[in-house]
Chains A and B, each alone.
Chain A
């Protein structure tokens, strides 16, 4: 028997996509009772991540409709379970991409819940009780306290919301792959939701940052507004040649299918190219340049909860938030169309509390 979205005791309301057209519309559903380990959160803001668009349209082939997207959630605690002492009612908190994991495996023990084989995602997953998870394009969410983040007071809750996915997605590989040595040279490929935060975090680490892009129009943005040290236009062969072998690392945020060869060429000896975008087809990897320059291509996928908290605190210390366009809930379908054309600087954030009305 299929479990209806109204299987839980707490009523909830949000916007969901019901089929691969990806069109979202109002959706009544429910949240579980707040158990001893849980925190109930009234959602204030939710960022619109590109993954939300992919899931809404079933681009990756495993969307389980209806899907309520949203995993860049900032809100206020309204209820805490008996075992919860980290949070109290009224606290400002965040929820990112994960709401559960097995908690027992070596990966979970190492605070790497994002690599647990049984990670439970904020939406489009199944929780321990087999019911579906629904994301932050909704009025409330109930989350196990282990996966709730303390949201720093001095970070704007709307502009800070995208840090919960975009922020940790670029911060984690920068730490893991050692991209934090002041003075080293970081390339950021792609200037969108992920890329613009990578520039800000890179500068905060004391790195020299070059934005690598195929859009000449982004140069001014990159250098004047975001503070990147330089801009490299991929389609300019002379500039590209001049920049070969100059970068210690590159964060590749591009999720369209794209050529890796020029990016690998930009790396110095022992350079590292880390891909955080998710193209839906394999990319071509030239092997010779990897071998001749002892270079590597790695991947990274969000981060664990502990590291996400570390990232939020780092951003609070350095006053880093996302550049956002605040929208109302009923603008979401237009926002998704614009997102498909990368027409946003650089993240839409839904003002859920003010605009989500039944």
Chain B
């Protein structure tokens, strides 16, 4: 007999789920597992809305299993810890990002790269070890293995910190890995949205000169005045792009719509690096000549491991970096999703779970 989401586990839980590929979300009673000896259970206070949540509720990647409770930018306060938990205690402010499990024995796991483990378990929409599907942070409580919990320092406001758990690590990790974090370097950020605005903040905190590259001229003021980018390029303006050719050490490309790579490769200096963190579903055209002639690279990066995620949170606390957010009540969720489709948010919606999601307990 197939158990319902409410019957699977012993502890009641409540959240909002999409039930089909219309992507419309509505209340769902479900359940969480008992707090195991290595588990941390926390009351969810805030959860960021990542663009991936939108892709998943609408089954745009073809892998969605319904009912689907999204949310992988989750922060809250610890309410219970298992007997073997060492790093956290009740009352601690914590967060969970995109992962809640991995194999702990492969090369990737041994090198703090759980995000690349072939058996990595995503926070939502993936089959857990016990066969049940994982449910995300649009819910009142979370239970996760201590290994996948990060501590949120006291001086980071919880609502603004939530998006760091996905958007933050997604842009921080490649700046470090691809060596685009040296003071004096010049890095471009393509796309000024949830990922892009955090890329600008991290790069500036690392002492890097930043140019925002966008299709929308009206984002210029935001980019320069508010986010303190050093300059702004309108990607459709051929003259501006031409004048900036060969000026960038690297580019973090956050755009997941289809877009041409050739002009971006042209902006790179020799030996420059174009790093994709947005993932268009269809292949893009790669012009080989300019890649060769300048010994340039196009690379990709996907979130980050747990050690680096904690490092990123601590870096953010030190440099007072949080996301620019619009806090919403849970019943605004579907409207927020519609606005997100049109990129009508500056720059992340964060659901006020603690105050607006009626708890199951």
Which A residues form the contact surface with B (CB < 8 A)? 107, 112, 115, 173, 176, 260-261, 269, 275-279, 282-301
B289 at the interface (CB under 8 A from A): yes
Which residue in A277, A294, A297 is a CB contact (below 8 Å) of B302? A294
Nearest chain B CB to A96's CB is how many angstroms away? 16
Residue of B nearest to A289 (CB): B300
Residue of A nearest to B299 (CB): A296
Residue of B nearest to A169 (CB): B292
B291 at the interface (CB under 8 A from A): yes
Residue of B nearest to A279 (CB): B288
CB–CB B286/A297 < 8 A:
yes
Chain B residues 267 to 299 lying within 8 A of chain A, measured CB to CB, are: 270-271, 273, 276-281, 283-299
Tell me, in angstroms, the Cα distance from A260 to B287 when the chains sit together. Answer: 12
CB–CB B295/A176 < 8 A:
yes
B301 at the interface (CB under 8 A from A): yes
CB–CB A299/B292 < 8 A:
yes
Which residue in A275, A290, A293 is a CB contact (below 8 Å) of B288? A275
Which residue in B108, B273, B285, B302 is a CB contact (below 8 Å) of A285? B285
- For A277, the chain B residues whose CB sits under 8 A away are 288
CB–CB A282/B285 < 8 A:
yes
Nearest chain A CB to B197's CB is how many angstroms away? 20
Residue of B nearest to A277 (CB): B288
B332 at the interface (CB under 8 A from A): no
Question: Contacts A290-B299, A293-B116; is A301 near B287 (CB within 8 Å)?
Answer: no
- For B286, the chain A residues whose CB sits under 8 A away are 260, 282-285, 297
CB–CB A299/B301 < 8 A:
no
CB–CB B279/A299 < 8 A:
no
Tell me, in angstroms, the Cα distance from A276 to B286 when the chains sit together. Answer: 14
CB–CB B108/A292 < 8 A:
no
Nearest chain B CB to A292's CB is how many angstroms away? 5
Tell me, in angstroms, the Cα distance from A286 to B294 when the chains sit together. Answer: 21
- For B113, the chain A residues whose CB sits under 8 A away are 269
Other than the given A291-B277, A294-B116, 16 more pairs (CB < 8 A) read: A115-B270, A278-B292, A282-B287, A283-B286, A285-B285, A290-B299, A291-B276, A293-B300, A294-B177, A294-B300, A297-B291, A298-B291, A298-B295, A298-B297, A299-B290, A299-B294
Question: Contacts A282-B287, A287-B276; is A298 near B296 (CB within 8 Å)?
Answer: yes
Name 24 A/B residue pairs within 8 A (Cβ), A-sorted: A112-B270, A260-B286, A269-B113, A278-B289, A285-B298, A287-B280, A289-B300, A290-B299, A290-B300, A291-B279, A293-B116, A293-B300, A293-B302, A294-B116, A295-B300, A296-B298, A296-B299, A296-B300, A297-B286, A298-B295, A299-B292, A299-B293, A299-B295, A299-B296
Chain B interfacial residues counted at CB < 8 A: 36
- For B108, the chain A residues whose CB sits under 8 A away are 269
CB–CB A286/B298 < 8 A:
no
- For A288, the chain B residues whose CB sits under 8 A away are 279, 281
The B interface, classified by DSSP as helix, strand, loop or mixed, is mixed
CB–CB A297/B298 < 8 A:
yes
Tell me, in angstroms, the Cα distance from A285 to B258 when the chains sit together. Answer: 12
CB–CB A269/B116 < 8 A:
yes
CB–CB A115/B276 < 8 A:
no
Tell me, in angstroms, the Cα distance from A283 to B294 when the chains sit together. Answer: 17
- For B287, the chain A residues whose CB sits under 8 A away are 282
Tell me, in angstroms, the Cα distance from A293 to B280 when the chains sit together. Answer: 15
Question: Contacts A269-B116, A285-B285, A288-B281; is A294 near B299 (CB within 8 Å)?
Answer: yes
Question: Contacts A295-B300, A296-B299; is A301 near B293 (CB within 8 Å)?
Answer: yes
Nearest chain A CB to B286's CB is how many angstroms away? 4
Residue of B nearest to A107 (CB): B270
B261 at the interface (CB under 8 A from A): yes
- For A276, the chain B residues whose CB sits under 8 A away are 292
Closest 3 CB pairs of A and B: A290-B300, A299-B291, A296-B299
Residue of B nearest to A115 (CB): B270
Tell me, in angstroms, the Cα distance from A293 to B276 when the chains sit together. Answer: 12
Tell me, in angstroms, the Cα distance from A293 to B277 when the chains sit together. Answer: 12
- For B277, the chain A residues whose CB sits under 8 A away are 291
Residue of B nearest to A268 (CB): B107
CB–CB A286/B283 < 8 A:
yes
- For B293, the chain A residues whose CB sits under 8 A away are 115, 299, 301
Which residue in A282, A294, A300 is a CB contact (below 8 Å) of B292? A300
Which residue in A278, A282, A287, A299 is a CB contact (below 8 Å) of B297? A299
Tell me, in angstroms, the Cα distance from A24 to B291 when the chains sit together. Answer: 31
Residue of B nearest to A286 (CB): B283
- For B294, the chain A residues whose CB sits under 8 A away are 115, 299, 301
Residue of A nearest to B258 (CB): A287
- For B285, the chain A residues whose CB sits under 8 A away are 282-285
